[in-house]
């Protein structure tokens, strides 16, 4: 009986602790500073991908709800735009402070709905918070220009003004950080927003909104519309086509980005698109192989491969190919621990949904059927559930395989051999994607040549992690338009106004 009482006591304490940590779990949408239901009162479930259990049900909003949210944001913009940069900075700083204070609670929400390990969720919160801190400072450094005039009695002024309501559409892989990276920037610029989070991970957005509310963000500046996959197209159409919207900020797949870009074109609206990637990870003969393998683990298996900047194609010089592949396989075997995100020691959680799980397994099966060889993984860990895919290493990958040309977005690394720098560049650039790329070399001249010739918006030399609040994050070609983070990330949400001051000699 004593053992039974002890067990019950421990379970009860664990339950109470989990309840306290989930106090940021909101069950309603957030519009005009209030927690609201949809007009239809219809709800949809948010599930835990590790076991398919329902976490909660939230409002399934439609086009009418979205129009209302956009109008609220448009009305609020008329006053928010006139707040001082100092005031916006103060509010963002307070939001940052509250997110820092509630970091563990935010991480619990992220893990519950996305499945990622708690250690990664904590990392995401720290990363997301860094944007609020950065933009709190940046708000006071959005400067204009005075240009030397060609006329003796006139002066040319360029000022940056907020462009209005921003429609923010965010993905499921970093559900908190993608909110702060976008909303922190647009608020610093003086804009308001309507956020439509992924239907798979809306709770992180609502938790962020709750902390923004506590921080004193004025009602109507941030609005969160929640919708199921069924209603997402109608909601997205309003967010792109409503005349009150000045910009669409989207992170997600290239396919969806093109659709939103087309909708935005009807109103000639500004877009900030951070789309898919197909990142090369290039290892030259001079590289420190142990370091390259360490960084490969970060570049590939962070968030179980579900990252737009995740390395897809590992291009290894023929002189070090066997050594790299051997070390990489060993590291995957020892470091990739698959399981539910709440379990101690787990480094790789489930894929976010069945659709994603089928896509990843389909790409591997296609590659194997065309001659690729599996050195590690290559199958579902069915004993854990239906969305746990083993960390996988493939060799003998060829350009005619789908896995070579498509973004994997899962825990699958493909290794290819190259002979020289020119061949590595040809293979790396043979994609319409142009987001991130990684190069490992001790040759300084080679590092600069690769940086110049790689057709990607971001190049990391001897590092597998390149994202932070300070640099300008973004891609070229079909990987997007615009930049996030840095001062450039704020300027995306401003228009340049030219004012000519004349008659100064009268």
Q: Given the DSSP bridges, would you call strands 34-36 and 43-47 parallel, antiparallel or unpaired?
A: unpaired
Give me Rg for the CA atoms of the chain: 24
Give one word for 249, left, alpha or beta, with left for phi > 0 and alpha for psi -120 to 50.
beta
Rounded Cα distance, 482 and 42, in Å: 36
Q: Given the DSSP bridges, would you call strands 412-418 and 54-59 parallel, antiparallel or unpaired?
A: unpaired
Rounded Cα distance, 486 and 281, in Å: 25
Please answer whether residues 454 and 305 qualify as being in contact, where contact means their C-beta atoms are separated by less than 8 angstroms.
no
| Residue 244 φ/ψ, nearest 5 degrees | -80, -10
Sign of CA dihedral 293, 298, 303, 307: negative
3-state secondary structure of 472: coil
Closest CA to 472 of 462, 463, 459: 459
Alpha helix positions (H), 171-253: 177-189, 203-214, 232-241
Please answer whether residues 275 and 435 qualify as being in contact, where contact means their C-beta atoms are separated by less than 8 angstroms.
yes
* DSSP codes joined into one string, 53-111: -EEEEEE---HHHHHHHHHHHHHHHHHHTTS-HHHHHHHHHHHHHHHHHTHHHHHHHHH
Token pair for 147: 């240009």
Please answer whether residues 308 and 275 qualify as being in contact, where contact means their C-beta atoms are separated by less than 8 angstroms.
yes
* DSSP codes joined into one string, 233-284: HHHHHHHHH-TTEEEEEEES-HHHHHHHHHHHHTTT-EEEEE----EEEEE-
List 120, 274, 390, 478, catalytic entry:
274
Rounded Cα distance, 353 and 340, in Å: 14
Q: What's the full length of the chain, in residues?
A: 506
Rounded Cα distance, 99 and 404, in Å: 39
Per the annotation, the verdict on 308 as an active-site residue is: yes
Sign of CA dihedral 357, 360, 363, 364: negative
Token pair for 376: 């590690």
List 240, 247, 308, 415, catalytic entry:
308
3-state secondary structure of 323: helix
Please answer whether residues 167 and 197 qualify as being in contact, where contact means their C-beta atoms are separated by less than 8 angstroms.
no
Rounded Cα distance, 484 and 140, in Å: 17
Q: How far apart are the first and last CA of the chain?
A: 97
Strands (E), 297-351: 311-317
Per the annotation, the verdict on 348 as an active-site residue is: no
Catalogue the active-site residues: 274, 308
């Amino acid at each position: 009986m004593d053992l039974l009482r002890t067990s019950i006591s421990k379970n009860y304490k664990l339950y109470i602790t989990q309840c306290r940590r989930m106090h940021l779990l909101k069950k309603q949408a957030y519009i005009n500073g209030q927690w609201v239901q949809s007009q239809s009162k219809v709800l949809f479930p948010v599930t835990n991908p590790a076991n398919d259990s329902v976490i909660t049900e939230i409002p399934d909003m439609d086009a009418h709800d979205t129009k209302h949210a956009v109008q609220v944001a448009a009305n609020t913009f008329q006053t928010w735009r006139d707040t001082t940069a100092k005031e916006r900075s103060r509010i963002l700083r307070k939001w940052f402070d509250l997110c820092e204070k509630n970091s563990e609670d935010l991480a619990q929400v992220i893990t519950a709905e996305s499945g990622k390990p708690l250690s990664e969720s904590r990392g995401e919160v720290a990363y997301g918070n860094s944007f609020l801190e950065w933009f709190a400072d940046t708000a006071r450094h959005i400067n204009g220009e005075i240009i030397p005039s060609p006329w003796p009695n006139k002066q040319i002024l360029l000022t940056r003004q907020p462009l209005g309501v921003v429609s923010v559409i965010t993905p499921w892989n970093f559900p908190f950080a993608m909110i702060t990276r976008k909303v922190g920037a647009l608020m610093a610029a003086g804009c308001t927003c309507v956020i439509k989070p992924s239907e798979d991970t809306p709770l992180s957005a609502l938790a962020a909104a709750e902390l923004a509310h506590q921080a004193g963000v004025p009602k109507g500046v941030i609005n969160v519309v929640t919708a199921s996959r069924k209603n997402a197209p109608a909601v997205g159409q309003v967010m792109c086509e409503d005349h009150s919207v000045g910009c669409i900020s989207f992170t997600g797949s290239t396919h969806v980005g093109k659709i939103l870009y087309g909708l935005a074109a009807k109103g000639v609206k500004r877009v900030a698109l951070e789309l898919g990637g197909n990142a090369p990870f290039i290892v030259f003969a001079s590289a420190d192989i142990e370091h390259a393998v360490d960084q490969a683990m970060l570049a590939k298996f962070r968030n179980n491969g579900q990252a737009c900047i995740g390395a897809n194609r590992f291009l290894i010089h023929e002189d070090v190919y066997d050594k790299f592949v051997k070390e990489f396989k060993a590291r995957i075997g020892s470091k990739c621990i698959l399981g539910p995100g709440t379990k101690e020691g787990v480094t790789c959680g489930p894929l976010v949904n069945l659709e994603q799980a089928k896509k990843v397994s389909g790409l591997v099966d296609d590659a194997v059927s065309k001659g690729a060889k599996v050195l590690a993984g290559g199958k579902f860990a069915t004993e854990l559930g239906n969305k746990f895919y083993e960390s996988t290493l493939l060799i003998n990958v060829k350009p005619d395989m789908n896995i070579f040309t498509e973004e994997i977005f899962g825990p699958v690394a493909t290794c290819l051999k190259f002979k020289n720098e020119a061949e590595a560049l040809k293979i790396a650039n043979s994609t319409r994607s142009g987001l991130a790329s990684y190069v490992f070399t001790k040759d300084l001249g080679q590092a600069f040549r690769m940086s110049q010739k790689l057709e990607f918006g971001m190049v990391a030399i001897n590092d597998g992690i390149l994202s932070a609040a300070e640099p300008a994050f973004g891609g070229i070609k079909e990987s997007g338009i615009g930049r996030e983070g840095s001062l450039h990330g704020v300027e995306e949400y401003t228009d340049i106004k030219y004012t000519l001051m004349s008659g100064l000699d009268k």
